[in-house]
Amino acid sequence: MEDTIIGVDLAKRVFQLHGASKSGQVKFRKKLSREQFRAFMAQHPACHVVFEACGSASYWAQEVQAMGHEVRLIAPQYVRPFVKRQKNDVADAEAIVIAARQPEMRFVAPKSIKQQSKAVLFRSRQRLVRQRTELVNALRAVLYECGHVFPAGIINLKRIEGLLQDPEVDLPALIVEECLDLLAQISEKTNRIVAKSKKVKLLAAETDTAQRLQTMPGVGPMTALAVEAFTPDMAHFKCGRNFAAWLGLAPRQYSSGGKERLGRVSKAGQSDIRRLLIIGAMSRLNWIGRRTIPEGSWLARMLSRKPKIVVAIALANKMARQIWAMLTKNEDFRDPALATAA
């Protein structure tokens, strides 16, 4: 493989390239269109190609890897400190190469086409849920302006529908008509959400990884799909704590002078998996899930002295570490409390 690093600043139509040796000697600077870039990389000898982890980065990583090059992605926040003076495409491409030469640099694993496909399904369902919530809030707001107050939650739609269908309702006909139209839109969103949820369950039943993840209490098809879609190979993480920190479930550090100071969870990682793990942890702490918590266990002791949400975040951290162990060892979930008792 040639001793060349090519930094590529991606854009919609024009790409800026910066080629340099590993020692830092500049070899070329080029500004190419999409078609010219593809042809240039196909003719160039195999080398190291570095992209900033942004939109279309995974696609171009797949394309360039197929041409025989070694591809790496760098998070934008790690490239920014190496930009000299003014920010432009030329400076960005050079900064990508300089960042890639750092021996301690952390790289982002490119997503496969299967991961991208599952991520599209997950995002589509998430977008529909958000749009339905917006419609429900709009409906409640209209009725609130007319003196009818309903609690939050989609479960109250039946009560709203009953009010609007009442022939003696004290609302103008135009408002009733618009509210019924909002109900129709909500129903249409709900049907699409249900269809996508079924598709998620089918996908989660197809792979051994998703089935293995669902052996853990609090992990369902949605969480399993999110882990498959957004998580790189677990070999990239040295231990379970690193995976939990990548999800943003580890405390932020403010340590200095040899004294350790830990703050709140960083929330600096993958937000979708973090949110689903916390929801799953809360389901294990509700009045039904608590029946399975052994007395005197770590979880029981935490519940006796900490608020439920704090315990849920701590449990989500523990679940993340257990997921790392399950996927690296190819084993199903084993309850530590039951294993200790045995």
pLDDT tens string 164-200: 999 888 899 999 999 999 999 999 999 999 999 999 9
Q: State residue 210's pLDDT score.
A: 93
Average model confidence (pLDDT) for the chain? 90
| Percentage of residues in the chain having pLDDT higher than 90 | 72
Is residue 15 within 8 Å of residue 37, measured between CB atoms? yes
Give residue 338's pLDDT band: very low, low, confident or very high (50, 70, 90). low
> Of 273, 276, 282, 280, nearest to 303 (Cα)?
282
Point out the least confidently predicted range of 81-95, 220-234, 295-309.
295-309
> Of 76, 80, 113, 96, nearest to 15 (Cα)?
96
Q: Which residue has the tokens 């129709």?
A: 184
Q: First and final CA of the chain: distance in angstroms? A: 54
Q: Please list, in sequence order, all residues whose beta carbon lies within 8 angstroms of the beta carbon of residue 132, skipping any fewer than 6 positions away.
A: 154, 186, 189, 190, 193
Q: Please list, in sequence order, all residues whose beta carbon lies within 8 angstroms of the beta carbon of residue 3, skipping any fewer than 6 positions away.
A: 21, 22, 47
